[in-house]
Structure 1
Amino acid sequence: MTASNSRHHWLALALVASTTGFAGAGSAQLVKPGTAPAKGPDAPKPSDQPQSNDPRSNAPIVPDAEFDSALPPLSGDLNAPLEAMAPLPAPSTQTPATPAAATPPATTLAGDVLPPTGPSDPQLAQPLTPLSSFDTTPLQTAADVKDKDAPEIRYETATKGLDKAGDGLEGEYKALSALAEGKGKAANATQVAARAREDEALAVRLLKSLGYYDATAISTIETIPDADKTKPARLKATVSAQPGRLYSLSSITVKADATTPPDLVRTQLPLKVGDPIEAARIQGAEANVSLTLPQQGYPFVKVGERDILLDDQTPTGAYTLPVDTGPRSSFGQLRTEGDPVFDLEHLSLFPRFKAGDLYDNRMTDDLRDALVATSLFSTVSVEPVRTGTINPDGTEQVDLLVRQSEGKPRSLGGNVGFSTGQGFRAEGTWQHRNLFPYEGALIASVIAGTQEQGLAGTFRRANAGKRDKTFSLTAGANHSNYDAYDAFTTSVGVRWSYDSTPIWQKPLTYYYGGELVGTNESVYDFTQGKDVRRTYGIVALPGQIKFDRSDSLLNPTKGYRLTLNLSPETSVQGSVKPYVRTMIEGTFYYPVSSSIVIAGRAKAGSIQGVDRDDLAPSRRYYGGGGGSVRGYGYQRLGPFDPNGNPVGGRSLNEFALEARYRFGDYGIVPFIDAGNSYESSTPNLSSLRYGAGIGGRFYTSFGPMRFDVATPLNPRKGDGKVALYISIGQAF
């Protein structure tokens, strides 16, 4: 072992033999507490010290020779073990003789045991409490009191200074305030103060969100004595805010790759120099970039973290926003994975874009919504996927990946309604939407009502070769018992239609088809002067075309609609009698304000080529009811037979005007209607009947619930005084 990596230990021990005088001194030290020598100005000067006559006073306590001889011998071997210590002499049990002039003797010590200091505490002798039974519940303070019977203190709140930053800030502060949330009650003053400190931070945070970055706030708590001395005093917590200076944008810098058009990102960032550095304004502007760029060919845009460098001298802030636009892209092909609910051929019917069109995420969302509307998926998603393929126009081809997860294809549905003249009517349906893939549905329906009963079955193929184009084949049997006729009807019909949906409201829709009807109906025979039953065979080719410029399919607030119906028909009842049924209807919607819409409707119909009495009663025109002239019974407008029952006519006209006032999810709709049906094939205005009333609306996600009460203004004998209508959707 070298000296550089070893450690040396030295031990020196001096053993001093006790003399009588030395022992006495040691004994004195034990019985008389020592005092520290005086220091400072009160310390005795050397000349003031008493001179000792003892010749040994200046001699060393232990002579050097005696000290050296007491040291143990040391070995020259640095690595040798340490020598054992000599045992200390046992302490003396005898009290040494003390001169008469010495300090009075004190109690001596036996061994190393101190004498008792006083009476012992019996509690100290008791065993400690086991840890398992120790109570670890923390002590409660006044702020922790939760006893429902504990007294509460009341407090009031006030704010100062927030109104300097804008009218809406104080309302936002109150909505988030901890003091306001406490509703003027607290367990103690400490709790009130804690809430006030939270509101201080809230006030500063809100002010900074509006651009007041120097804002400060402080809270004060004061006592308000109650006039009634028997009641405890209340507290008043006041949060005082100082907005300070308003910071504004001194510069706006966008760091982004080149786009088409060149200033696309900057134009979609609605900020300008001088605008306040307001959090909502900044975040809204950045959100607009994230929203609009994917609509203009940039599906992979990413808005980075903004940087605002504040200058407290100005006060302004330099705004910088990094934006990763990603490649400018165009639509490519569809891909799919997951459950094979639809194959790629059927999926290709849904997009409203073509390959090569500039990417627009609104079209991607529309594709997903259309798939969801089939109700055949539990989950379905559509997302863009980069391909790296560059088109001739410089855009990158982006494919759309459709992830499919199969849902339940069967469902039950129903609707219930009531109206004067039609009575109670309930309809239930069962359908399997994909019994004949793809989207070949089988639908069974049943109608149960006080005046109508029926069964029907329908095969319907949705999206048949084109999105929203539907083919349907229907067969059914129905019994209708109204004042105008009592009919047992069977029918078979086929129809092709191109329809609007809430997802895609189209400006032009249509349907066409064929219908074969066999019906046995009661009819009043004016030549015989009595009711008779006749059987009719009817072949019809109904069709419709509609122009729609309204802003909503279910609840329009502006725009117009124009509908034309045309149905060439042949009635077989003893002989063949061809005729044509036509109907034209127009509606308009005009917003007077954000909450009031004026809606109007005009309708006219005509049947040409046949006498009224040669028509089956169910094919004639009638007026009156919830979808016609409200206030009059269902089908009770027009000519009557001698028994007072309506017989219908070959022409019809109707008019309606509504003022739709909406507040939240509710609405009030006063209305006036007019109309009539006529025996002639041309309607006229000479004998209009008027009805008026008021309705209530409850707006839901699938359309408004309608409750209308109306009364006839120029009633005839037999007309009721009040009519009630309950249904889903607006009257028109």
Structure 2
Amino acid sequence: MTAAPASVCFRGRGDSARLAIGRMAPGGHRRGRAGVGVVLALLLLGLWLPWSAWADVAGLRYEIEIAPTGHAAMDAAIERASLLASLGDDETLVPLALIARAQADRWRIDDVLRSFGYYDAVVDVQLDGRDPADPLLAETLAAGAGLADLPVKIRIDTGPLYRLAEIRVDDAVPEAVQSAVDLRVGEPAEARRVLSAGTAMLEALREDGFAVAQVPPPQATVDHRTRGMAVRYSVDTGPRVAIGGIEITGLERLREGFVRRRLGLAPGEPYSPSRLELARRDLLASEAVAAARVIPATALDADGRLPLAVEVVERKRRTLRVSGAFASDEGGSLLLGWTHRNLFGGAERLSVHGEIGAIDGTSRDSLNYAAGASLRLPDRGRRDLDLAFDLDAVSESLDAYDRDAVTAGAGLELRLSPRLAVAVGAAVERARIAQDGPAEDFRLLSLPLTLGWDGTDAPQDPRRGLRVEAQLVPVPWVQADGPGDGQAFVRADLSASAYLDLTRLGAAGETQDAAAAADDARAQGELAPAAPRSSTVIAGRLALGRIIGADARAVPADWRLYAGGAGSVRGYPYQSIGPRRASNAPAGGDSLLEGSLELRRRLRGPWGMVAFADAGSVTADGLSDLGAVRVGVGLGVRFHTVIGPLRADVAVPLDPYPGDAPVQLYLGIGEAF
């Protein structure tokens, strides 16, 4: 080809920016003007065409075929851009509507090809073997409407791949910022990468403190003789600025001092969009805040700083929660909770709850009861340091033991990062416990130390990431009033869950875009859009437990280790796995090993299916008896909601104990782990 260099125009802003390249024809008219002419011609044509060209009496259907280019990603983009393909070939159309789609497809597909670096492509669209520009086509199509599906074929000659010949930035910018332009001479001249490089440069400038920097859409020139593109970025960096005054609006009951402390921003510190976003997320971490926006001003103040406006939307202060669950081994349970999220104006949270369990249970002699209250005071002395108080009472009759207890505790929790937290506390417990003999009264002091990491993408329905919790609980003082003697001990627990989204690994096009959009929304603290119509997640869980310093029989029964039940090894009754007493009831042990594996498949709409296998072992002599591992397998159904999935699992024990039911059913809210 010997045409002269083409004028190239990039238009658009930000992430939605779009490349429009107008190749100059010999007469000087751009492709865009020709497209307008075609549309006007079609409208004028419709004024004298017979009504049959517009009306759809017999129904005009079509069957589309797009010849592959050999470039998988580009073929997928072409199919998404094509109106003929994306709007469906199973509907009836009037002839002119079909012709308009075909004409639009030529321009839309050409834009896709240019975005991949093909600037001399030919897109041939044929309707029943005829060109859509044929003035007699509409009447011909109307005459044959309803006889058969109309063949629509799209053939593409991509032509040669164009490459970047020159990349120029017309201003002095820091080297780190210029490196954000991830383009190299000789690479394919892909319009999407040329545009994204300009956006990346602007983001890097603002991250480096140039808050009012401007990077207009780049100018480019395509030379058809050399198959090359020259790209020029015009940059106006402006001054490097600091944060100015911070104005907070939207507060009702929250104190302004609390909001400023949660933001952690101070006038005079360097401006950085990522720093502002981190401050916004820190504010959203408070349960008293429903939404927050940090908006930089459009101009600098008199001191050359950039003022900020913070808009806050508070959550409703009081909530009432009702939930329930059912397991065939434990019966039903009903929980009622009340929470005040902002008790004194500093996001103090007071929660009160009550629970009734063993409703219609097959292995209980009476109902179980639990009640409690907790008060959490955030940011005590420093940001992310919370002080918590808890008071709980329980009365339960289980296969393993009967227990009436009251516990009270206080603790400090420090969030080291959005994902990592550490907590330390102290708790006292007074309990009366009966297990194969007269009841014993226990009084003990525990000093729990907890370390938690949550790298998952969603707390109720994780699709990817890792979650780990380690807890070490020394119990230095135990007093027993009964036949036994109190003995100090230490209990250690470690649990880890991992999630792998197989859909993302093989995702392409819309599925991958939807997954990314969901992740972005969750990262912003917003309600995530619906997951892709179908997805597959592999989830795994591992749990270890150990009691050190005392024989299992010397440890109060409620502190021993047990396995079995809805949150443990499904298929086996609650706490049933492990050593047995003379009565064949669970005795509990000093070592625990558990593992679970689930294959979660999201179906159409809110429905999903799960296949799972759980395994667990409890021993009274360390982890030496791995032959005692019990395995349960099963299937589950999920109905996904905004508060998490509703869960129904059916599990079968592969090696049941004598008297165990052959099947167990579990109903609840949220995934098993």
Normalised by the length of structure 2, the TM-score is 0.71
Q: Give the match's secondary structure for 2:275.
A: helix
| Residues 230 and 600 of structure 1: CA distance in aligned 2, closer, same or farther (over 3 Å) | closer
Alpha-carbon distance in 1 for matches of 2:224, 2:596: 62
Correspondent of 2:59 among 136, 149, 152: 152
Offset from partner CA, 1:505-564 (integer Å, 9 cap, x none): 01x5122122343x3443321xxxxxx445x25232331132649666844645866443
Aligned Cα RMSD in Å? 4.1
Instruction: Tell me if structure 2 keeps the 8 A contact 1:199–1:239.
Output: no
User: Within the alignment, does 1:619 sit opposite 2:559 as a pair?
Assistant: yes
Correspondent of 1:442 among 334, 344, 350: 350
User: Within the alignment, does 1:495 sit opposite 2:411 as a pair?
Assistant: yes
Offset from partner CA, 1:614-640 (integer Å, 9 cap, x none): x54333333323344443221113343
User: Within the alignment, does 1:283 sit opposite 2:166 as a pair?
Assistant: no
Alpha-carbon distance in 2 for matches of 1:340, 1:490: 38
User: Within the alignment, does 1:432 sit opposite 2:340 as a pair?
Assistant: yes
Alpha-carbon distance in 2 for matches of 1:311, 1:231: 48
Instruction: Tell me if structure 1 keeps the 8 A contact 2:579–2:618.
Output: no
Residue type matched to 2:288 in 1?
L
Partner of 1:143: 53
| Residues 285 and 572 of structure 1: CA distance in aligned 2, closer, same or farther (over 3 Å) | same
Per-residue deviation at 1:213?
2.8
| Residues 311 and 457 of structure 1: CA distance in aligned 2, closer, same or farther (over 3 Å) | same
Partner of 2:513: none
Per-residue deviation at 1:427?
2.2
Q: Give the match's secondary structure for 2:262.
A: coil
| Residues 416 and 398 of structure 1: CA distance in aligned 2, closer, same or farther (over 3 Å) | farther
Partner of 1:604: 545
Alpha-carbon distance in 1 for matches of 2:177, 2:115: 24
Residue type matched to 1:174 in 2?
E
Partner of 1:512: 425
| Residues 159 and 601 of structure 1: CA distance in aligned 2, closer, same or farther (over 3 Å) | closer
Instruction: Tell me if structure 1 keeps the 8 A contact 2:74–2:112.
Output: yes
Per-residue deviation at 1:658?
3.1
Offset from partner CA, 1:185-237 (integer Å, 9 cap, x none): 54554444343323233333332333333334344444799xxx998366433
Alpha-carbon distance in 1 for matches of 2:568, 2:600: 21
Q: Give the match's secondary structure for 1:371.
A: helix
Per-residue deviation at 1:268?
0.5
Q: How does 1:228-307 map to 2 (within 5 A)?
A: 232=147, 235-258=150-173, 262-307=174-219
Instruction: Tell me if structure 1 keeps the 8 A contact 2:244–2:301.
Output: no
Offset from partner CA, 1:453-505 (integer Å, 9 cap, x none): 323222221233333332222334332221122333333332322357xx800
Q: Give the match's secondary structure for 1:195.
A: helix
Q: Give the match's secondary structure for 2:284.
A: helix
Alpha-carbon distance in 2 for matches of 1:693, 1:341: 51
User: Within the alignment, does 1:361 sit opposite 2:268 as a pair?
Assistant: no
Per-residue deviation at 1:267?
0.6
Partner of 2:486: 577
Correspondent of 1:568 among 476, 481, 499: 476
Alpha-carbon distance in 2 for matches of 1:230, 1:620: 78
Correspondent of 1:654 among 576, 580, 593: 593
Alpha-carbon distance in 1 for matches of 2:194, 2:448: 54
Per-residue deviation at 1:244?
3.4
Q: Give the match's secondary structure for 2:394.
A: strand
Provide structure 2 residue ranges, at least 5 long, that are not aligned to the other structure.
1-46, 131-139, 360-366, 506-535
Instruction: Tell me if structure 1 keeps the 8 A contact 2:564–2:616.
Output: no
Q: How does 1:378-527 map to 2 (within 5 A)?
A: 379-384=291-296, 400-449=308-357, 450=359, 452-499=368-415, 504-506=418-420, 509-517=422-430, 519-525=431-437
Per-residue deviation at 1:352?
6.3
Q: Give the match's secondary structure for 2:342.
A: strand
Instruction: Tell me if structure 1 keeps the 8 A contact 2:597–2:614.
Output: yes
User: Within the alignment, does 1:374 sit opposite 2:280 as a pair?
Assistant: no
Correspondent of 1:671 among 594, 602, 613: 613
Q: Give the match's secondary structure for 1:350.
A: helix
Q: How does 1:193-212 map to 2 (within 5 A)?
A: 193-212=99-118
Alpha-carbon distance in 2 for matches of 1:197, 1:177: 10
Partner of 2:508: none
Per-residue deviation at 1:431?
1.2
Instruction: Tell me if structure 2 keeps the 8 A contact 1:689–1:713.
Output: no
Q: Give the match's secondary structure for 2:343.
A: strand
Q: How does 1:5-84 map to 2 (within 5 A)?
A: none
Offset from partner CA, 1:336-369 (integer Å, 9 cap, x none): 3443654454234324678776544223212212
Correspondent of 1:543 among 431, 448, 453: 448
Per-residue deviation at 1:668?
4.9
Correspondent of 1:722 among 663, 667, 670: 663
Residue type matched to 2:55 in 1?
V
Task: Name the stretch that deviates more: 632-641 or 657-666.
Answer: 657-666
Count matched residues: 565
Task: Name the stretch that deviates more: 486-495 or 350-359.
Answer: 350-359
Instruction: Tell me if structure 2 keeps the 8 A contact 1:515–1:539.
Output: yes
Offset from partner CA, 1:670-697 (integer Å, 9 cap, x none): 434231142x6x5642662321425658
Q: Give the match's secondary structure for 2:316.
A: coil
Residue type matched to 1:645 in 2?
A
